[in-house]
Chains A and B, each alone.
Chain A
Amino acid sequence: MAPALFHLFALLTVASAVGVVATKNAVTAAMSFLLCLVGVAGLFVQLDAYLLAFLLLLVYAGAVVALFLFIIMLLDTQGQKNWGFKKFPIFVSLIALGLLLTGLGTFVTRGQLDAPNPNAAGGVGAALKPYAYQLFTTYLLPVQVMGFLLLIAMLGVIVLSKKIDGVEDVK
């Protein structure tokens, strides 16, 4: 039962991830991304990481991809031609490809991933308390930094979208 479900969700994830980059229609790409997230959430559920799975759905699938679609629809990218390859994207893609191959190579040579330390995990999964405890102790600094980043981004949006009297619209 479990391997079949794993294969189903793994196939869904990989196929829709390929769909994101392979399709030319921006809306189809966003919807494939959505399916990809659902697949990953399914994999998380099989790892008993229910909280992670549902947070992934709630935040990314529920809000972020919806905003992607929102913007794609507002910009209306239907009539755009393919941009073709430019130097910088090719350069970045090659670096990413190198990283991916290195990652796969280590995976193949070592044969397996490190087993997670069962003590460190502390019964994470369904229970919320270990998560909260970790977030407020071990990972307090990253959480604060992320919160600060989001605050800056939010302030930036407010400043950019606010109409200030006496200032010419910068365009």
Chain B
Amino acid sequence: MIDFWSNLHPVVQGLIKGLAVIMVIFPLAGACSLAERKVSAWMQGRPGPNRAIVPWIAWIPFVGTFLQRLGVFHLMADGAKFLFKEEPVPGHVNKVYFALAPAIAMMPALTTITVVPFGAYFNAAGDAIPLVLANVDVGLLAVFAVSSLGVYSLILAGWASNSKYPFLGSVRASAQLISYELSMTLSVIPVFLWINAPGAPGTMSLAKVVEFQSLPGFWGGTWFVFLMPLSAFIFLVSLFAETNRQPFDMPESEADLVGGFHTEYGAFKWSLFFVAEYSHMLVGSGVFTLLFFGGWNPLPWISLADLVGWLHHATHAAWTIHPLFVGVLSLGIFLGKVLTLIFIFMWVRWTVPRFRYDQVMKLGWQKLLPLAIANLILYALAIAFIQKSAS
């Protein structure tokens, strides 16, 4: 099995690994859309989707009814509906760009996952090896660069639709995404100033950030959210804006623009926009978890290595230190944190009223950006002072 794998051509290996990750992220994004409906229903005190059921599962007592009430089959029903529905293409659109926009929405959303580590295991020497498709040194920069291309799908969708509301939505989208990208980029710089100690080779790798949060000792084990709460806050707010989530849903704004950039879209093209939005949320939450919430470390001051060590000590079983078990454990911890964040996204969406467009711009340029710059200068001075006195 292992021999077969390592004998494969590197390109084939890469393809299989990439496809495996896409096979996870795509249904996960779909499941998020179901979760969104369930969470919104829960917050508004109604049952939510609870009818769809496959006949032969309905025959199972209790379990069948439970799954039906949970609404899990709505996911399949939705998927099948979007696949087999008629694809409406209005006569007044620019056909090439109209069809291209949903595809462009998916590409950056899925490409960013290549550099986001989602777990780790320990090799024989005890070093943590991150589970990631491409462990490049520019990690976070690659995420920012590729995800910034996502704005084109909104711009093109609105422009190609050739009608007023989508156009307004896409104009708002391009202004909003570019505005909040600045605060987002500035807010993470303190993290990288902190982990790039003088003398060591510089890095922007996300795996390195987690490594710094799993060092032993009080300061080593501190998650960066405690060290840099303001950075985390600015990053989170910008993340809401970058993923077009309420209260920043200007590109869509159902309240005043019908459906914003996707007004003219239907069926599978429409659902692609939504899978892309949820993929962006998943990747964004993943990056947020890695930067500020310790990545795959279970608790602050308790690293993955500690947990595995305790498990091994308690059970004396060999499987507790098997790389496969550790990998799955870290993946579970990481996914748990990411899904919690996704829940917070939904929680905010159904709690906070949406902004007006001028408020979004004012918040971005007059509040968040100065705050991010002040935060950066403060931390740059503090880190320089600490590292000077430490050396």
A-side residues, CB < 8 A to B, are: 1, 27, 31, 34, 50-51, 54-55, 57-58, 61-63, 66-67, 69-70, 73-74, 126-129, 132
- Give bound CA distance, A169 to B95, whole Å: 41
Q: How far is the CA of A61 from the CA of B175 in the complex (A)?
A: 15
- Measured CB to CB, the nearest residue on chain A to B137 is A126
Is A63's CB under 8 angstroms from B181's CB? yes
Q: Are B174 and A69 in contact (CB under 8 A)?
A: yes
Whether A73 contacts B148 in the complex (CB less than 8 A), given A27-B159, A63-B178, A128-B202, comes out as: no
A80 to B159, CA, bound (A): 17
Residues of B within 8 A of A126 (CB): 136-138
Interface status of B155 (Cβ within 8 A of chain A)? yes
Count of residues in B whose CB is under 8 Å from the partner chain: 30
Contacts A50-B136, A128-B202, A132-B202 known; list 19 others, CB within 8 Å.
Answer: A50-B137, A51-B138, A54-B142, A55-B141, A57-B146, A57-B149, A58-B141, A58-B145, A61-B148, A62-B149, A69-B174, A70-B175, A73-B171, A74-B171, A126-B137, A126-B138, A127-B137, A127-B203, A129-B201
How far is A66 from B175 in the complex, measured between Cα atoms in Å? 9
Known: A70-B175, A127-B201. A50 touches B138 (CB 8 A): yes
CB within 8 A of A66: which of B146, B152, B167, B202?
A: B152
Interface pair B136/A58, CB less than 8 Å apart: no
Cβ contact within 8 Å between A66 and B178: yes
Q: Mark B126-150, 1 if CB is under 8 A from A, else 0.
A: 0000000000111001101110110
Please state if A57 and B145 are interface contacts (CB–CB under 8 Å).
yes
Q: Separation in Å of the A56 CB from the closest CB of chain B?
A: 8
Complex Cα spacing A12 to B248, Å: 36
Q: Write the B39-83 contact mask toward A (1 if CB under 8 angstroms, else 0).
A: 000000000000000000000000000000000000000000000
Q: How far is the CA of A69 from the CA of B269 in the complex (A)?
A: 22
Q: Flag if B159 contacts A128 (CB, 8 Å).
A: no
Q: Is B352 in the interface zone, CB < 8 Å from A?
A: no
Which residues of chain B have C-beta atoms less than 8 A from A63's C-beta?
148, 178, 181
- CB pair A51–B141 under 8 Å, yes or no, is yes
In the complex, the answer to whether B174 meets A129 with C-beta atoms within 8 Å is no
Q: In this assembly, does B204 line the interface, its C-beta being within 8 Å of a C-beta of chain A? A: yes
- Complex Cα distance, B26 from A117, in Å, reads 46
Please measure, in the bound complex, the distance between the C-alpha atom of A69 and the C-alpha atom of B171, giving whole angstroms: 10
Contacts of A31 in B (CB 8 A): 97, 152, 156
With A73-B159, A128-B204, A129-B201 known as contacts, the answer to whether A66 contacts B136 (CB < 8 A) is: no
Known A50-B137, A70-B155; judge A129-B148 contact (CB<8 A): no
Question: With contacts A66-B155, A128-B203 known, is A58 near B137, CB below 8 A?
Answer: no
Determine whether B23 belongs to the interface, using a CB cutoff of 8 Å to chain A.
no
The residue on A at minimum CB distance from B11 is A1
Taking the complex as formed, is B151 at the interface, i.e. its CB lies under 8 A from any CB of chain A?
A: yes
Would you call A58 and B144 a contact (CB within 8 A)? Answer: yes
Q: How far is the CA of A128 from the CA of B314 in the complex (A)?
A: 43
Alpha-carbon distance between A66 and B137 when the two chains are bound, in angstroms = 27
Residues of A within 8 A of B142 (CB): 50, 54
Top 4 nearest A-B pairs (CB, nearest first) are A62-B148, A57-B145, A129-B202, A128-B202
A contact residues around B181 at 8 Å (CB): 62-63
Closest B residue to A63 using CB positions: B178
Contact B202 A127 (CB under 8 A): yes
Question: Which among A57, A62, A128, A132 has the highest number of chain B CB atoms within 10 Å?
Answer: A62
Report whether A54 and B159 are in contact in the complex, using a CB–CB cutoff of 8 Å.
no
CA distance A62 to B136 in the complex (A): 20
Contact B141 A70 (CB under 8 A): no
CA distance A50 to B152 in the complex (A): 23
CA distance A58 to B149 in the complex (A): 8
**A66 pairs with B201, CB closer than 8 A:** no
A69–B142 Cα gap in the complex (Å)? 23
Is A67 within 8 A of B178, CB to CB? yes
